[in-house]
Amino acid sequence: MRNQITVLVVDDSAFMRKSLSIMLGSDPEISVIATARNGQEGIELALKHKPDLITLDVEMPVMDGLTALKKIMNDCPTSVIMVSSVTTEGAQATLKALELGAVDFIPKEMSYVSVNISKIKEDLISKVKEITRQKSLRERLSRLKAIGERTNAKPKENTHSNVLPQIGYSAVMMGISTGGPFTLQKILPLISEKIQVPIFVVQHMPPKFTKSLADRLNGMCKLDVKEAANGDSVEPGVIYVAPGGYHMKLSKSNSHVSISTTLEPSDSLHRPSVDVMFDSVIDVYGKHALGVVMTGMGKDGYEGVKRLKSLGGSSIAQDEESCVVYGMPKAIVEGGLADAVLPAEKIPEMINKVV
């Protein structure tokens, strides 16, 4: 049984502790070794049991989740998934937690018993397995924290030429998931104010979280950042973040490009979907859209990049060493679709250079 993934559940709600324990314990590869009622208990049990992963509530008595997270990262660095309320305040606290080193989050309301319980359980279990499968996660997070600072660290050599053709890019499209908010807050501020093309971003997140993310990024970036809204006119030098729960699509009339937010297709694995957004951007800009796929689980973005490459376009994949979870960019690299494989801090450099 030693090969089981060990999890510590920290939540002030007895119902939540029980629900999460039942969901996680339903998988034979996962064992909930302890539960805690507040952040202080959580720290003590983390030091005692040294779990592979911790689920951590944000709002708790005695010691809240953010305070506990800081101490966990200092005293016993562990992969942490935050359990966050779906409110504006909860979203802001979650983004702060991801900045402090939490790897991912689940919205609290989603974890209650509902008609989607099997989907929620499946998502939670897959996140736990994928996150604990990553090697040297703490080292990767430390490296990502150093982005934008002076450092002598040299990225690993790779076999890609890392040269993109100067074809006159008219748009940049980015897909990102697990580890994304942390990474976006590090790399988007490094994109030059001289960029005069629109940038479209899909980050897998629920509603409210994407609005808080866009607002946070807007205060950090040289370019304007906004959560995309239905009917928005696409402007150069603006970063559009797809709204949680909706796909972001483009339409063109004469020379005017506008955004639509839609629930269709309803059968996609993610909403917003990277593939759906990429496909729509390619419909408008063709091979002159630059595709960028970064940290995240799964393969969302693969089909979109495959189509882009078939038209003669170019793509960038984030390298394994700087990814929090090397899934989405791995699919691009292994599929032979990446023109450049770059550490996170080099991605904005490349965009500034070629766009």
Euclidean distance between CA atoms 167 and 173, whole angstroms: 16
Mean pLDDT by 10 residues, the chain (355 residues): 85 92 94 97 96 94 94 91 82 89 80 58 89 67 55 48 83 95 93 97 92 95 98 97 97 94 93 97 97 96 98 96 91 96 95 94
The 8-class DSSP code of residue 230 comes to T
Q: For the chain, how far is it from start to end, CA to CA, in angstroms? A: 52
List all residues 6 or more positions away from 253 whose beta carbon is below 8 Å from its beta carbon.
Answer: none
pLDDT at 136: 57
Residue 55 contacts by C-beta under 8 Å, 6 or more apart in sequence?
7, 8, 9, 10, 11, 20, 80, 81, 82, 83, 106
Residue-level pLDDT at 165: 78
What tens digit of pLDDT does each residue of 193-232 get?
A: 999 999 999 999 988 899 999 999 999 999 999 999 999 9
pLDDT in tens, 152-164: 444 444 556 678 8
Catalytic residues: 177, 204, 300
Alpha helical stretches, state H, 188-343: 209-218, 274-285, 302-310, 328-334
Please give the single-letter amino acid code of residue 44. Answer: E
Residue 155's pLDDT is: 47
What structural domains does the chain harbor? Answer: 5-133 (3.40.50.2300), 171-354 (3.40.50.180)
111: nearest Cα among 24, 41, 30? 24
Identity of residue 65: G
**pLDDT of res. 166:** 80
| Residue whose C-alpha is closest to residue 165's, from 349, 314, 278, 311 | 314
User: Tokens representing 332?
Assistant: 């691009």
C-alpha neighbours within 13 Å on the C-beta side of residue 279: 11
Phi first, then psi: what are they for 342, rounded to 5°? Answer: -130, 145
pTM here is 0.87
Query: Side-chain half-sphere of 176: how many Cα atoms within 13 Å?
Result: 28
Structure-block tokens of residue 94: 């979650």
User: How far is 187 from 239, CA to CA, in rounded Å?
Assistant: 13
The string of DSSP letters for 75-109 reads HS--EEEEEE-SSHHHHHHHHHHHHHT--EEEEGG
- What is the CB-side half-sphere exposure of residue 38 using CA atoms within 13 A? 6
Note the maximum CA span of the chain: 65
For tokens 């980050």, name the residue: 203
SS3 (DSSP) at 225? strand
Residue from 6, 72, 77 nearest 35 by CA: 6
The DSSP element (H or E) to which 6 belongs, if any, is: strand 5-10
> Looking at residue 161, what is its pLDDT?
63
Going across the sheet that includes 199-203, the strands are 224-227, 238-241, 199-203, 171-176, 289-293, 314-318, 340-342
